[in-house]
């Protein structure tokens, strides 16, 4: 029986990197992104590993789309790992909170907070069957109070609390939940946060793979409820 993972934001950046890593570990995958062409390219790039890959393009903020993703996992036989990676940054350049349009904040909350919780709710029966793991991608912006990062950071702070609360609530059901700050990476989103700046000094998303390899090898009860920094040197210590 193959393990099955569902990855949101799976067409590029960290999502595509994790998809390749898991495909190499013989995972079957449900991948989603709003960009169907990029999703197709990412899937083709890892098809040689031989696992089954379902590409389901759409917006995670849409409940019907989330139901399609869970149905895809059912089609593959179950769900061991849910990676809530899809995120939106907000306006670029990043505005101060005093100037952040509230409709943009509502969109950030819909994608970065409501969608991960909604997907966890819908996928819970499958995750319970396999004593699965939910990984919610956070950010140092959740803690920093950095000028310009207030909207995005607020959504990640909310997601951190959701992760911890879910971990406590789902413990008796055998489902683990962790929050992971992947650190600065050379991605399209990070470039959008610094328009016109050279971000070539940032590491590629592959820098996080040693952490994720470690995480997936841990007993769920040992890691659940913790917040990790994927580029830290001491993963055992929650951030």
Find the catalytic residue in 27, 146, 152, 228: 152
Q: Give which of 189, 138, 158 is closest to 12, Cα–Cα.
A: 189
Q: Give which of 28, 57, 65, 59 is closest to 40, Cα–Cα.
A: 57
State the number of CA atoms in the 13 A half-sphere of 36 facing the CB: 3
152 included as an active-site residue: yes
Number of Cβ within a 10 Å radius of residue 77: 15
Tell me the catalytic residues.
Answer: 152
């Amino acid at each position: 029986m193959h393990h099955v993972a569902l990855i949101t934001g799976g067409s590029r950046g960290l999502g595509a990197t994790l998809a390749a890593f898991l495909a190499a570990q013989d995972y079957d995958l449900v991948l989603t992104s709003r960009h169907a062409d990029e999703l197709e390219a990412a899937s083709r790039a890892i098809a040689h590993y031989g696992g089954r890959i379902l590409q389901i393009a759409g917006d995670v903020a849409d409940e019907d789309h989330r139901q399609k993703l869970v149905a895809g996992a059912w089609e593959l036989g179950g769900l061991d790992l849910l990676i809530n990676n899809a995120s939106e940054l907000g306006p670029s350049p990043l505005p101060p909170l005093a100037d952040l349009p509230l409709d943009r904040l509502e969109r950030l909350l819909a994608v970065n907070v409501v969608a991960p919780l909604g997907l966890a709710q819908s996928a819970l029966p499958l995750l319970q069957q396999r004593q699965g793991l939910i990984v919610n991608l956070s950010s140092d912006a959740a803690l920093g109070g950095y000028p310009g990062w207030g909207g995005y950071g607020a959504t990640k702070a909310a997601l951190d609390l959701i992760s911890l609360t879910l971990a406590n609530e789902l413990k008796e059901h055998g489902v683990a939940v962790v929050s992971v700050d992947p650190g600065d990476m050379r991605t399209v989103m990070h470039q959008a946060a610094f328009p016109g700046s050279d971000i070539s000094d940032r590491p590629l998303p592959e820098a996080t793979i040693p952490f994720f390899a470690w995480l997936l090898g841990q007993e769920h009860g040992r890691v659940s409820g913790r917040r990790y920094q994927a580029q830290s040197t001491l993963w055992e210590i929650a951030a």
